[in-house]
Amino acid sequence: MPELPEVEVVRSGLAPAAVGARIRAVSVFDDRALTRHPAGAADFVALLEGRTFTAAERRGKFLWLPLDTADTALIAHLGMSGQLLLRAPDAPAERHERIRLHLEHPHHGDLVIVFSDQRTFGSLAVDSLVPDAGSLVPSQVTHIARDPLDPSFDDRAFVESVRRRSSAIKRVLLDQAVVSGIGNIYADESLWAARIHPETSAQHLTRVAVRRLLTEVRAVLEKALAEGGTSFDAQYVNVNGQAGYFAHSLNAYGRGDRPCPRCGTPIRRVAFTNRSSHFCPRCQRLRAGGPPPARRSEGDELPARES
């Protein structure tokens, strides 16, 4: 599933072409791409046609394009395989195209935004914008915490929130009510960088350790963002259809049985809910007070991409 860096790459790619553009027409080819818009395709089209995008925003894995109507926005969640692509007006249909928005931009002329989604877990919707901690966000996003790259992220509140939880620290990092935008890949990478075992109880971490982890989270996300995100297959691409290359910089995730770049010990891969965790058993030892290490799952093959 696209995580914060991938969604931010898409948002920043859309912004120059979408902001200021008028939506001339909307074509919905598959209603499954509107699961977050329960009023249906006709209502979706009516709310968008003739409107103008005024900005491009993101929180965690959600991105939205506010409209020139009062407090509404086009919101997108890419799910497992959703793509927002910029194309020429006469571009042929994408293989898994679900929705096409025809735009008129005052500087760039005519273009289209295509929503393509192979697995159909993603969705577009028109949603109302509501106040949330000094910002306007779609109502569907109010339950999502700010992400570590948000200028308004509260470091002190994050540290205290983490230390109040008895869950394993990796589970806390993936809790979108605590911090958004950190998926399985970047949780593993950040914990490796901070030398913290993923099953360490969050409440047993010192404030210094949590602050160090937050520093590493930001460093990992910023590096991934600079490298265009992580692509293991063709399901994540930017708005021009290009893959990111952070996969070449991974130190733990997807490196099961390969040597740790720091100490040479083989990276362990263990089952984690319906996904996997990757860590170095030497650099990331489980300290006293934590649960026993998870057992390796026999025959648990690594999927092409995990959320």
d(CA 244, CA 145): 25
**Residue 138 near residue 127 (C-beta atoms within 8 A):** yes
Residue 131 appears among annotated catalytic residues: no
DSSP 91-135: PPPPTTEEEEEEEEETTTEEEEEEEEESS---EEEEEEEEEETTE
Which pLDDT score is estimated for 31? 96
Residue 61 appears among annotated catalytic residues: yes
Q: Which one is catalytic: 218, 223, 275, 285?
A: 275
Residue 170 appears among annotated catalytic residues: no
Q: Which one is catalytic: 2, 138, 148, 198?
A: 2
- What CATH number is given to the structural domain containing 81? 3.20.190.10
Could you tell me if 164 and 97 lie in one domain?
Answer: no
Q: Which one is catalytic: 61, 98, 100, 255?
A: 61
Could you tell me if 64 and 188 lie in one domain?
Answer: no
Which pLDDT score is estimated for 133? 76
**Token digits of residue 157:** 């509140």
- What CATH number is given to the structural domain containing 255? 1.10.8.50
Q: Which one is catalytic: 3, 6, 97, 189?
A: 3
Could you tell me if 18 and 41 lie in one domain?
Answer: yes
Tally of structural domains, the chain: 2
Dihedral, CA of residue 113, residue 184, residue 160 and residue 220, to nearest 10 = -70
**Token digits of residue 93:** 């249909």
d(CA 96, CA 78): 13
d(CA 121, CA 34): 10
Residue 167 domain boundaries: 155-279
Q: Which amino acid belongs to residue 254?
A: G
Could you tell me if 195 and 262 lie in one domain?
Answer: yes
Residue 3 appears among annotated catalytic residues: yes
Could you tell me if 122 and 165 lie in one domain?
Answer: no
* Residues of the chain scoring pLDDT < 70: 1-2, 228-248, 288-307
Which pLDDT score is estimated for 234? 44
d(CA 1, CA 39): 26
Could you tell me if 135 and 41 lie in one domain?
Answer: yes
